[in-house]
Amino acid sequence: MKTIPLLCLFSWLLVGCVSTPSPVPNWLSGKPYPTLAPLLRQVTPAVVNISAMTKSISTNHPFLNDPEFRRFLERLDLPIPRVPREYQQRSVGSGFVIDAQQGYVLTNAHVVENAHTILVTLKDRRSYRARLLGIDENTDIAVLQLEPVPSGLSALRFADSDGLEVGDFVLAIGNPFGIGQTVTSGIVSALGREAPTGLVGLIQTDASINPGNSGGPLIDLGGAVVGVNTALLGPTGSNVGIGFAVPANQAEAAFRRVLTGIRD
């Protein structure tokens, strides 16, 4: 009488053991758990840091920031001098190589606008001067060319951003606050957004984007560029989970327009 229940119990345990899912291995890395490391090893060498130097004019002398000095001038009934002073201003951003043979780099126009010197640093710490080939104001995209074109460059490819959906996983790569190449992850939070800068049709993502990330790529899990990080929305100017990227299709069209303008 006890044989049937025991047989049923054995069958249930056997089925349970067979149906229990095993950990999904990451075949690229050989690790028994998911990791993005193999993907990032392939794409991060094409992401660059950008330093842009601009000249600015100030009419305030540093001495005028001293309240004691200002009171001294006032006691002597002397006018406060307004002497134009030129100084150098450095801004940092990100970009990525889109054509390794020609040394073309894509970034945001606002990163390199009015710069007299542009320095591009690769992941391996090699640095090169870059020439601004042109900008597309409608998309905030700028095209640079490294001079000379380095050997051993790797480039990223554009994805078809029209295929993006809310919920797709994405990675943002850039140089936040100038601390060096950094990778953050998130999802596509929304599509067709308008940024505070006035750009429209943007990708919204919760992948962390901070000052310095501008111009860096937003990539999918296939390693293709789905967007160019361009803006964030936050009360203090830092990330609160709302970042924006120019869709890849817009960025690629802007890239082609700039090249066409050069050739014409």
Catalytic residue, chosen from 91, 206, 214, 220, is 214
Diameter over CA atoms, the chain:
115
CATH fold, domain 47-147, is Thrombin, subunit H (2.40.10)
Averaged pLDDT, 62-86: 69
Q: What percent of the chain has pLDDT over 70?
A: 78
Residue 37 has what pLDDT?
94
Q: Quick check: helix, strand or coil at residue 49?
A: strand
Catalytic residue, chosen from 51, 91, 110, 208, is 110
- pLDDT score of 224 more than 50: yes
Which residue do the tokens 């901070």 mark?
A: 210
CA-wise closest residue to 119 among 111, 128, 110: 128
124 is catalytic: no
Catalytic residue, chosen from 136, 140, 206, 220, is 140
Residue 30 has what pLDDT?
65
Architecture of domain 161-261: Beta Barrel (2.40)
110 is catalytic: yes
Bridge partners of 58, per DSSP, are: 85
214 is catalytic: yes
Same-fold call for 47-147 versus 161-261? yes
Mean pLDDT, all residues of the chain: 85
Q: What percent of the chain has pLDDT over 90?
A: 64
